[in-house]
Copies of this chain bind each other. A is one copy, B any other.
Amino acid sequence: MDIYQEAVIRQQIGLTEEALLVIEDAFVKLAQNQVVMPPVMHIDISDYQGEVDVKSAYIKGLDKFVIKQSSGFFNNPKKGLPSSGGLMIVIDATTGFPCALLLDNGYLTDIRTALAGAISAKYLAPKKINKVGVIGAGNQAKLQLEALKLVRDYNEVIVHARDLQKAEAFAKTVSKQLDCKISVARLVSQVVTNVDTLITTTPSSIPFVMIDDLHPGLHITAMGSDAPYKNEVDALAFDRFDQIVCDDINQCLKLGECHFADKNGFYQKNEHKVTTLGKIINTPKLARQGDEVITLCDLTGVGAQDTAIANYALKRLQKTSKVEASELGFSHLL
């Protein structure tokens, strides 16, 4: 079994066009029923304000698949530790034996999540983006903006976060890194009403994208909700969307924006507008239908993305020299 640490994985994998195509392919296979994907396993450790998700998927034609563990422990920062973590076990699909361990601390999840956002924009955002809006000012907000550059040019960003100081700091550093203008909005509605592409990246359990702020020409990538209690887009807004695109419909109905829309009766009446990202990638005429439509892409993060990025990472990693045991200190990898 080969073991790879985060540092070496970071050297090999990033937000590239090649990696984007790898994730596109995973969505297409999912739409073509070429993927065996069990429901997400969720373990609540409320004693320590923590939660662990396990995702997995077998993609036909790939000789390896992944079982991925990812965690969020919200007391960790008080201890000086990152709140999120994770690793991937890579399994040989022909024998069931583990063949590699990717000790990425969630890095590959961050990457495949940002790439899904870029894919969403590639097919659903207006061809020309004037202003991008971002809700949330964390690491994924930055990665989403960076990945968006793979598919669209843009120069102006408006960001909102509950913690305005964090938003200000984000604007300052990310504007330099991505060479664009970033301003901070005090209210979510100021972002939504002024942008044509909106990316929501929060773990909010109270929806903040409201129907009255929607306007023709807006595309929304909602990637924050990935648990039954999370919700960024108000159920009522589903009435205004012209197209609703899920990474996986079943999963979005359990964990995504579709969940509360379904609970409140707004999914059912708009179900004719629902499709999947994989179908759109595979059928270009299903992509954005004109300048004036309003579109939602509901991303919950699927195991197929994990298996795809891990296969890709492993191919690249195996070409480079393997990490030496002595470099790892072995008994204390982390």
The chain A residues found within 8 Å of chain B, CB to CB, are 1-3, 36, 38-39, 41-45, 47-48, 50-52, 54, 56-58, 60, 65, 67, 69, 71-73, 76, 79, 81, 84-85, 87, 89, 91, 93-99, 101, 103, 322-326, 328, 330-334
Contacts and interface: CB of A to CB of B under 8 A. Distances in A.
A120 to B, nearest CB: 27
Chain A interface helix/strand/loop/mixed: strand
Contacts of A38: 41-43
Q: Determine how many copies of this chain the complex contains.
A: 2
B67 A95 contact: no
A148 to B, nearest CB: 29
Given A69-B89, A325-B328, A328-B325, A1 B43 contact: no
Contacts of A89: 69, 87, 89
12 contacts: A1-B103, A1-B332, A39-B41, A48-B95, A51-B96, A67-B69, A69-B98, A71-B91, A71-B96, A97-B334, A325-B328, A328-B330
Contacts of A87: 89, 98
B44 A36 contact: yes
B3 A330 contact: yes
Contact of A1 (B2, B71, B334): B334
Nearest to A334: B1
A326 B328 CA distance: 12
A75 to B, nearest CB: 8
A309 to B, nearest CB: 18
A48 B93 CA distance: 7
A188 B177 CA distance: 72
Contact of A93 (B42, B47, B324, B334): B47
Contacts of A85: 95-98
Nearest to A101: B101
